[in-house]
């Protein structure tokens, strides 16, 4: 079975390592390729997925929205979020899914012991990743969600979209203010990523209540400066590697019908990032 990832650029992707490890664990004769695809080649690239040898693809920046009209069927969750990160080829028909959102929830549950039901949650950022995450938290029963984003208009528009779709109260602001009310704070901004933003914290944690779960979806480095600050304050922490691995595991299951042992994909992703076992 041939699978791969569609995005541009793709130099940083750890997905091949994760999926090859999962194919190997099951003894499946599979390959996972880097399909670097500029925007003007996207339609042809997606069309090529109908080949009977192809199981499907992951989709990443900047194509998660642009692929929607190129597919035959859209899973309802992907349709509600408006973004596809996994395509499955079934006898030449292409179905689009979003495994980022359930992957994030699974990471909160398994690595953080956290269930959103009845919780007040703060989400920092309103970019592509935040769309799925705010939607996932709302559909998982969060009591209310606040989005804090530098560009207020983007936070506002995401808040309106998710509140309209789910009925869960979602508001937006530029600065989060007092954090004492939140059971969970999620960073979906790029602050903390390896590179120029690595030392920057998405928000101060002075006012966070004891026990507030601090979740950072940035996965490179595996421990961000913000996570280190949360740990210094004795707050429970979940990093972004878990979301990355769980979204990949859910995609693999859609292609092959088999759920890979998460430890296998975790170890492969961590090794590909040069970080050893998490």
Give me the residues that bind ligand NAP (CB under 6 A), please.
Answer: 61, 100, 125-130, 149-151, 154, 188-191, 193, 217-219, 240, 243-244, 247
- Taking the CB of residue 14, how many other CB atoms lie within 10 A of it? 21
Q: How far is CA 29 from each of CA 23, 24, 78, rounded to the nearest angstrom?
A: 7, 8, 29
Token pair listed for 66: 């642009």
Provide the minimum distance between the beta carbon of 144 and ligand NAP in the complex, in angstroms, as a whole number: 20
Q: How far apart are CB 219 and ligand NAP at their closest, in Å?
A: 5
Return the number of the residue (94 or 130) whose C-beta is nearest ligand NAP.
130
Closer to ligand NAP at the Cβ: 54 or 133? 133
Q: 158, 126 in Cβ contact below 8 A?
A: yes
Taking the complex as a whole, the smallest distance from the CB of residue 90 to ligand NAP amounts, in Å, to 25
Backbone angles phi, psi at 268, to 5 degrees: -65, -40
The smaller minimum CB distance to ligand NAP, of residues 73 and 153, is found at 153
For ligand NAP, the closer of residues 154 and 233 by Cβ is 154
- Candidate list 64, 106, 131, 246, residue with the active-site label: 64
Least separation in angstroms between residue 154's CB and ligand NAP is 4
Task: Report the C-alpha gap between 119 and 168 in whole angstroms.
Answer: 11
Among residues 181, 173, 96, 169, the alpha carbon closest in space to that of 137 is found at 169
- Measured CA to CA, the distance from residue 69 to residue 83 in angstroms comes to 11
Least distance in angstroms from the C-beta of 216 to ligand NAP:
9
> In the bound complex, which residue of the shown chain has the CB atom lying closest to ligand NAP?
127
Three-state secondary structure call for residue 124: strand
CB atoms under 10 Å from CB of 278, counted, come to 17
Q: How many CB atoms lie within 10 A of CB 196?
A: 8
CB 191 within 8 A of CB 167: no
Active site residue 64: yes
Is 54 or 147 the residue whose CB approaches ligand NAP more closely?
A: 147
Catalytically active residues are 64
């Amino acid at each position: 079975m041939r699978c791969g990832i569609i995005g541009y650029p793709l130099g940083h992707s750890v997905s091949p390592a994760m999926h090859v490890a999962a194919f190997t664990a099951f003894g499946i004769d599979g390959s996972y390729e880097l399909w670097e695809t500029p925007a003007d080649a996207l339609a042809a690239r997606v069309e090529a997925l109908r080949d009977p040898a192809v199981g499907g693809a992951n989709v990443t920046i900047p194509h998660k929205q642009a692929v929607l009209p190129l597919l035959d069927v859209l899973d309802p969750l992907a349709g509600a979020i408006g973004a596809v990160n996994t395509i499955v080829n079934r006898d030449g028909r292409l179905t689009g899914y979003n495994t980022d959102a359930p992957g994030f929830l699974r990471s909160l549950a398994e690595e953080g012991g956290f269930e959103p039901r009845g919780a007040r949650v703060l989400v920092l950022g309103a970019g592509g990743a935040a769309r799925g995450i705010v939607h996932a938290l709302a559909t998982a029963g969060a009591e209310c969600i606040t989005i804090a984003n530098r560009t207020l208009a983007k936070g506002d528009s995401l808040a309106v979209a998710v509140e309209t779709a789910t009925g869960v109260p979602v508001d937006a602001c530029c600065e989060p203010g007092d954090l004492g009310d939140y059971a969970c704070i999620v960073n979906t901004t790029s602050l903390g990523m390896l590179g120029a933003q690595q030392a920057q914290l998405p928000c101060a944690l002075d006012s966070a209540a004891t026990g507030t779960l601090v979740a950072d979806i940035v996965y490179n480095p595996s421990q961000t400066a913000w996570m280190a600050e949360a740990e210094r304050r004795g707050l429970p922490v979940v990093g972004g590697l878990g979301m990355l691995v769980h979204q990949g595991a859910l995609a693999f299951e859609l292609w092959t019908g088999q759920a890979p042992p998460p430890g296998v994909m975790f170890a492969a992703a961590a090794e590909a990032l040069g970080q050893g076992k998490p």
